[in-house]
Amino acid sequence: MSNLDIGFIGLGIMGKPMAGHLLDAGHRVTTSTHHKAAPAELLKAGLGSVGTPREVASSNEVIILMVPDTPQVEEVLFGPDGVGESRLDGKVVIDMSSIAPMATKTFAERVRALGGDYVDAPVSGGEVGAKNAALSIMVGAAEATFERIKPILEIMGKNIIRIGEVGDGQTCKVANQIAVALTIQAVAESLTFASKAGADVAKVREALLGGLATSRILEIHGERMIKRTFEPGFRIELHQKDLNLALSGARELGVALPNTAIAQEMFNACRAAGGQGWDHSGLVRAIEMLSNHEIGQK
């Protein structure tokens, strides 16, 4: 596809490498410094910088958001000097954040009323997936809009699926976060059990990776648990935000999510120990505290 003018707001752990891939692909990318300065390495790579989301929207065909939560998306879109204060005729807003599905539908209606189009495209794969352009991207969009923006998404991810209409991408992401949290808890319990029983936990993990219990969580986060590397690829406080969306949605739908509630309580225990900024694999520390045993102890 021809090079596009793309705005990218939210250059954190995930957004920074994602924007970098767009620059490497030859697109012109601009960010906003309304909250913090643009990363120096991206500026050296050609990233443009303006002061407000409104300025980002005014000079770009596509505006991508990658911010922490629903209030931040609303602020960027509709706050003072927000995207919505610019003319949006023919432009596409792609929200790659993980936020509430119902709020997403409301935001889409407001953007359409301003002449633009709206896509929700939350991602899974964490910092590793973002750096390797290997994210799974769950898209809610009209089919024609999806085909229009798919080449952009393919620069940042490998598994790109249109789930359905606007809001369905966020619903899929909530489901993803339920599965991820419960799998992290399962890996944490299994490795803590093996370690306290006296087995070589690294070899236990290696064996499990060759059987039915294998998973990306066991591969990546199991290694983190063993090596005690809890610097965040995805922070506990952000995963808690996603599980709050799951549990509140479950109440509205009348769906039972008992193990999701337990995983949230394990994250709460981590927060109580000052771990809201740990990587979500740090959930193992709550299991270890309950077990009075740290993985790797003799």
- Same domain for 19 and 158? yes
pLDDT tens-place string over residues 17-44: 999 999 999 999 999 998 889 999 999 9
- Same domain for 157 and 63? yes
Quick check: is 296 in a domain?
Answer: no
Quick check: is 127 in a domain?
Answer: yes
- Same domain for 37 and 62? yes
Q: Within 10 A of 51 (CB to CB), how many other CB atoms are there?
A: 11
Give the amino acid at 257. Answer: L
Quick check: is 297 in a domain?
Answer: no
Looking at the chain, the whole-number percentage of residues with pLDDT higher than 90 is 96
Which of 131, 165, 199 corresponds to the end of one domain? 165
Full residue range of the structural domain in which residue 63 is found: 5-165
Which of 165, 192, 227 corresponds to the end of one domain? 165
pLDDT tens-place string over residues 229-272: 999 989 999 999 999 999 999 999 999 999 999 999 999 999 99
Angle between the N-to-C axes of helices 258-272 and 284-291, in degrees from 0 to 180, rounded to the nearest 10:
80
Separation of alpha carbons 54 and 77, rounded Å: 8
- Same domain for 151 and 235? no
Separation of alpha carbons 99 and 77, rounded Å: 14
Let me know: does 283 contact 188? Beta carbons within 8 Å: yes
What mean pLDDT is predicted for residues 68-84?
Answer: 96
- Tell me how far the alpha carbon of residue 81 is from its chain's centroid: 25
- Same domain for 158 and 13? yes
What mean pLDDT is predicted for residues 215-226?
Answer: 97
Separation of alpha carbons 84 and 102, rounded Å: 19
Separation of alpha carbons 267 and 210, rounded Å: 29
Which of 165, 181, 206 corresponds to the end of one domain? 165
Separation of alpha carbons 13 and 205, rounded Å: 27
- Same domain for 122 and 38? yes
Whole-angstrom CA distances from 94 to 40, 97, 286 are 24, 9, 36
* Catalytically annotated residues: 173
Separation of alpha carbons 136 and 61, rounded Å: 24
Q: Say whether pLDDT at 99 is over 80.
A: yes
- Same domain for 223 and 286? yes
Q: Say whether pLDDT at 298 is over 70.
A: no
CA neighbor of 221 nearest in space, from 249, 189, 266: 189
- Same domain for 117 and 176? no
Q: Say whether pLDDT at 1 is over 70.
A: no
Separation of alpha carbons 53 and 251, rounded Å: 35
State the CATH number of the domain containing residue 155: 3.40.50.720
Into how many domains does the chain fold?
Answer: 2
